[in-house]
Amino acid sequence: MGMIGGSLEAFIGAVHRRGSQLDGEIELVCGAFSSNPEKSKATGEALYLNPSRVYGSYEEMILKEKELPEGERMDFVSIVTPNHVHFPAAKMALENGFHVVCDKPATLNLAEAKELKTIIDKSGLIFALTHNYTGYPMVKEAKAMVDAGDLGEIRKIIVEYPQGWLIDLVEATGQKQADWRTDPARCGAAGAIGDIGTHAENLVEYITGLHITELCADLTIFVDGRKLDDDGNILLHYNNGAKGLLHCSQICNGEENDLNVRIYGTKAGISWKQMDPNTLIVRTRDDGARIVRTNVGKLSANAMAHTRQPAGHPEGYVETFANIYRNFSMALRARWEGKEADPIYDFPGIEEGIRGMAFIENVVRSANDHQNKWTKFEI
């Protein structure tokens, strides 16, 4: 693996490194950790990389690695930069024969995401998108329950993603995470909606298989001086007739990272919270509620395939990245061995990326339309 972005001061780069290394299947062999060569070099040193494989730009890395003999050169790139670099870096990697793991959202805008799909399809290479929250065992279990019909027909879906870290103008303090996430040039047309709203949208679509058909959005910038939405409330209609709500925010004072979802069907309702990720509650009116827990009792094959510890030994955030990297490495290996990848070891790809970018653009379009109630979800 070669990493693009992820210098020492970044947050998500270290997460990708830990996730990719957890299972001992992937080795970090090179990197272009920063557009600042000094920073890239310092990061490479801290990671004990061979200095000759620490590059000053991703372009350099891709070209130089390509010249290395097969078996020695990196097999794929991991892109962990701000959003605006996703597309050019992924494009160049794919066009030079490298598979790609990319942080979400896929690209800077929908057009790029569609173009990226064309490039991927043409390349025949593997592309993984780290919508990590669907990597939790209990999210896998929720999906398996929906697939098995345990919820009956789905009627109502509430998905929330409140955070509170941007209650004031953190970006003015030089805090790196806040800096680019609030800058349209680097993060795209939306703030909270792009950064966390897409996770919420992806989570629902992953579990239920439903698609949004129309929506009505109300976005707000609460903090003076901020350029992009820090709060959003959205009414949703799904393609089976279900109704939904999605809200996400970065100004919910004191909230940490409370992604959560409730899905109600004719037979049962389920709820799951990212901050208590090894618990899935299943409720029914007539038979009461069950607590489904990671590695307790009989669970779906999909849930078990993403569980590492015995019951009660908490698995958390880093394992969700590990699950994507592990599954991606299994897909690579299957390809090398000429086998079919096992669908139980799933991971998000460009289709999810396109839907996420479309979500952002449709939400922003709806929010900017103060007259018409419903905005058709267009891709």
Touching a copy of itself, residues 164-203 (CB under 8 A): 164-165, 167
Given candidates 16, 17, 131, 226, which one binds a copy of itself under the rule CB under 8 A?
17
* Dist. CA 264–CA 283, nearest whole Å: 9
Given candidates 216, 305, 330, 334, which one binds a copy of itself under the rule CB under 8 A?
216
Secondary element (H or E) of residue 71: none
The smaller minimum CB distance to a copy of itself, of residues 36 and 253, is found at 253
| Contact predicate 271/262, CB 8 Å | yes
CB of 122 to a copy of itself, least distance (A): 32
Pairing of strands 154-162, 243-249: parallel
Kindly state the tokens that stand for 334.
């299957």
- Binding to a copy of itself, residues 300-339 (CB under 8 A): 308-319
- Binding to a copy of itself, residues 238-297 (CB under 8 A): 243-245, 247, 249, 251-258, 262, 264-269, 274-277, 281-293, 296-297
Given candidates 3, 10, 15, 54, which one binds a copy of itself under the rule CB under 8 A?
15
Q: State the DSSP code for 222.
A: -
Amino acid at 352: E
Please give the distance of CA 65 from its chain centroid, rounded to a whole number: 27
Q: What does 117-138 look like in DSSP terms, one character per residue? A: HHHHHHHT--EEE--GGGGSHH
CB of 63 to a copy of itself, least distance (A): 26
Whose CA is closest to 235, among 250, 249, 219? 219
Question: Which one of the spans 68-76, 95-103, 185-193, 230-238 is the region binding a copy of itself (CB under 8 A)?
Answer: 230-238
* Dist. CA 204–CA 263, nearest whole Å: 9
CB of 104 to a copy of itself, least distance (A): 15
Contacts of 103 (CB under 8 A, 6+ apart): 12, 16, 79, 80, 81, 86, 129, 130
CB of 20 to a copy of itself, least distance (A): 10
- Binding to a copy of itself, residues 108-167 (CB under 8 A): 151, 155-156, 158, 160, 162-165, 167
CB of 274 to a copy of itself, least distance (A): 8
CB of 200 to a copy of itself, least distance (A): 14
Q: Count residues binding a copy of itself (CB under 8 A).
A: 87
* Residue 159, beta-bridge partner list: 246, 261
Three-state DSSP class for residue 83 = helix
Three-state DSSP class for residue 358 = helix
- Binding to a copy of itself, residues 72-111 (CB under 8 A): none
Residue environment code for 230-269, b if the CB has 16+ CB neighbours within 10 A, otherwise e: bbbebbbbbeeebebebbbbbbbeebeebbbbbbbbebbb
CB of 87 to a copy of itself, least distance (A): 26
The smaller minimum CB distance to a copy of itself, of residues 107 and 362, is found at 362
Question: Which one of the spans 13-21, 87-95, 108-116, 119-127 is the region binding a copy of itself (CB under 8 A)?
Answer: 13-21
Q: Binding mask 21-60 vs a copy of itself (x if CB under 8 A, - otherwise)? A: xxxx---x------------------xx------------
The smaller minimum CB distance to a copy of itself, of residues 165 and 180, is found at 165
The smaller minimum CB distance to a copy of itself, of residues 315 and 352, is found at 315
CB of 264 to a copy of itself, least distance (A): 5
Q: SS in 3 state form for 136-195?
A: CHHHHHHHHHHHCCCCCCEEEEEEEEECCCCCCCHHHHCCHHHHHHCCHHHHCCCCHHHH
